[in-house]
Amino acid sequence: MKKKSSFSTQGQRADIGDLKIYRILANRYADAVGPFVFLDHIVPTIQTRVNKEGTGAHPHRGIATLTYILNGEDEHFDSAGNYAMVHSGGIQWMKAGNGIIHDETLNYDSRTDSKMVHAFQFWINLPAKEKAEKPEYLAIEGNKVPYKDLPEGTGWIKVVAGSFDELSSAIPNYSEQFLYHIHLEPGASFTTDFAEKLEVAAYLPVLPATINDEKFNAGEFIEFDRKAGSIKLENDNQEAGDFLLFGGETYQESIYAEGPFVMNSKLDIAIAYRDFYNGDYGNIDYEKQRLKIL
């Protein structure tokens, strides 16, 4: 049985500097899909000048951030001393835990001739016990992201988070979660099954497509019912197209989100702000961190 769509919606503009961004989640219909409580889509753009300012240093607590770079290179700094540059196809993952300050700068990939930048940033809500733990960090280059070709040359799948068949992502799982990038050739389709009660959403970043016999536009976020069933993706276009499928088990604890913090109570939010203003999250030493790589 095919899963039925519950709703679909478009994102809202949330640009940062020269980066054109659509905020897809949270939206007017959904605050979360499984453990995912946030999704920004940095839409495909030809970059005409180098972005030196980045997003600006800012705090997080109670979540893990996951930046998936389709095109470009993403430079990461944080107040725990972590630094990395990840290129097209790669992932930056940071567990904010009990508090951290980070900064990211997205530019075109210096290793290629392309000036294209295109990326996604997700926030993954942590269980309460993980919100109290120390920050962690993981950088994964594109050739280390689990990948396999689909049958008969119809496309491929990358497992950014969670597992699919024999593929498992290195991103830690604190609850059942999945984030798949499916690439389909013109006229191709892909079908996968989901267990009951799993929350599942699809996102069409660039092209329209048909999902479970319904036509959706480019830029649409679609959430599905929680009954066991299948999702069939069909690329009706004359060019190859991309799909994101993501979600997981329902988050069982209370959720209070404000600004860069996602906690379990209003008191927790107040404490997160207090600790930040007290300087407990530390500071970023940009030059020292860059020297670690040189």
Q: Are residues 8 and 220 in contact, defined by beta-carbon separation less than 8 angstroms?
A: yes
208 vs 39: CA distance, rounded Å: 19
- Tell me what pLDDT residue 292 has: 67
pLDDT tens profile 202-227: 999 999 999 999 999 999 999 999 99
Reply yes or no on whether the pLDDT at 294 is more than 60: no
DSSP states of 236-274: -SSS-EEEEEEEESPP-S--EEETTEEESSHHHHHHHHH
pLDDT tens digit sequence for 45-95: 999 888 877 778 999 999 999 999 999 999 999 999 999 999 999 999 999
In angstroms, the first-to-last Cα distance of the chain is 54
Share the mean pLDDT of the chain: 95
pLDDT at 249: 97
Tokens at 25, concatenated: 């989640």
Least confident of 90-94, 152-156, 288-292: 288-292
Residues of the chain above pLDDT 70, percent: 99
Rounded mean pLDDT, 132-143: 97
Residue-level pLDDT at 223:
98
Task: Look up the CATH number of domain 5-291.
Answer: 2.60.120.10
Contact status, residue 181 vs residue 244, Cβ threshold 8 Å: yes
CB-CB contact of 24 with 39 (8 Å): yes
Per residue in 173-207, pLDDT tens?
A: 999 999 999 999 999 999 999 999 999 999 999 99
| Range scoring the smallest mean pLDDT among 120-134, 230-244, 279-293 | 279-293
pLDDT at site 248: 98
